[in-house]
Structure 1
Amino acid sequence: LLSSSTIISWHQDGAFAVTDSIHHVAINNNNNNNSKSTKSKVLYHYVIAQCFCTTQDEQVPLIASDDAADAAWHSLEEIRKRVEAGQTTPGVLHVIEKAQSLYNAGFLSTTTTTTTT
């Protein structure tokens, strides 16, 4: 959530990309030969819709909602460092770079609004 009166611009046509994150858990099976084989089953499957927006104020404080433990603004360089440190998945960097390329090429037009919380 944005924590104050904020001017944001967003891509009004909806998500520009959709990805998923599938998490497995290993299960052990005994077959007829009494040898163990390891299989897995899906524990969680998240479908993630990536949306695009910009803000004119880079210092707007964010508040994590019920779907996140924390929320923060990061520069592209900070995200690269977080990926290298194992703090952020590489897919996040890929999505941001894709959004930036689409925006720079004029494929992600935006509509401006003011939010108040």
Structure 2
Amino acid sequence: SKPDTSGGSIEVGETTIEAAKRELHEETGLISLPSSSSDNDDDRQQQLKWYEDAPFSTTDSIHYNEESKKEVTFHYMIAHVFAEAYMTDSLQQQQTLPKLVADDDALDATWWSVQDIQKGIEEKKVTKSVLRVIDRAELLYKAGFLKTT
């Protein structure tokens, strides 16, 4: 199986951002905690800051019949949302990426660098569009269009 980003279906009445938060938590264990939360007993605060306005981009995923290559068998849209993730360790005075724990339908959960993604594309394990979405997010973030809370 190919590596993939977290995702899933939206439940009735759920916003896109709410669905993204739920799916990310179900598949990786990541949760959003306010920086002042006292629920953590190990002096580390996990942070997920979300751009909450709306998805910043969408992608069509159109799949054709294997034999005819013309008949569409299914078509869905992927809504891309943006969040910043890091952990603050008050004992070491540094920020690190939070630990991921594969759960739900995820076989594995790991952080990928841009270099890892590029290598995955070269090995045909990762779709080219993943890097385009990340590049778009980075440009929008650096330009100040993806303010997180």
**3-state SS in 1 of match to 2:129:** helix
Greater strand share, structure number: 1
- TM-score by length of structure 1 reads 0.74
Look at both structures and tell me which one has the larger radius of gyration over its CA atoms: 1
1:17 matches 2:57 = yes
For residues 4 and 42 of structure 1, the distance between their equivalents in structure 2, rounded to whole angstroms, comes to 35
- Contact between 2:85 and 2:98, CA under 8 Å: does it hold in 1? no
1:60 to 85, 95, 99: 99
Give the TM-score of the pair, scaled to structure 2.
0.60
Aligned to 2:47: 7
Structure 1 segments of 4 or more deviating over 6 A? Answer: none
Q: Structure with the greater relative contact order (CA < 8 A, sep ≥ 6): 1 or 2?
A: 1
Q: Distance in 2 between matches of 1:82 and 1:39?
A: 26
Gaps of 5+ in 2: 1-24, 32-45, 88-96
Percentage of pairs with the same residue: 38
> Aligned runs of 1:1-117 on 2, under 5 Å?
1=25, 2-3=28-29, 6-27=46-67, 38=68, 40-57=70-87, 58-66=97-105, 68-111=106-149
Once the 2 structures are TM-superposed, how far is the Cα of residue 70 of structure 1 from its aligned partner? 3.9
Q: Any idea what SS the aligned residue of 1:78 has?
A: helix
Q: How many pairs align? A: 100
More helix by share: 2
Gaps of 5+ in 1: 28-37, 112-117
SS in 2 for 1:71: coil
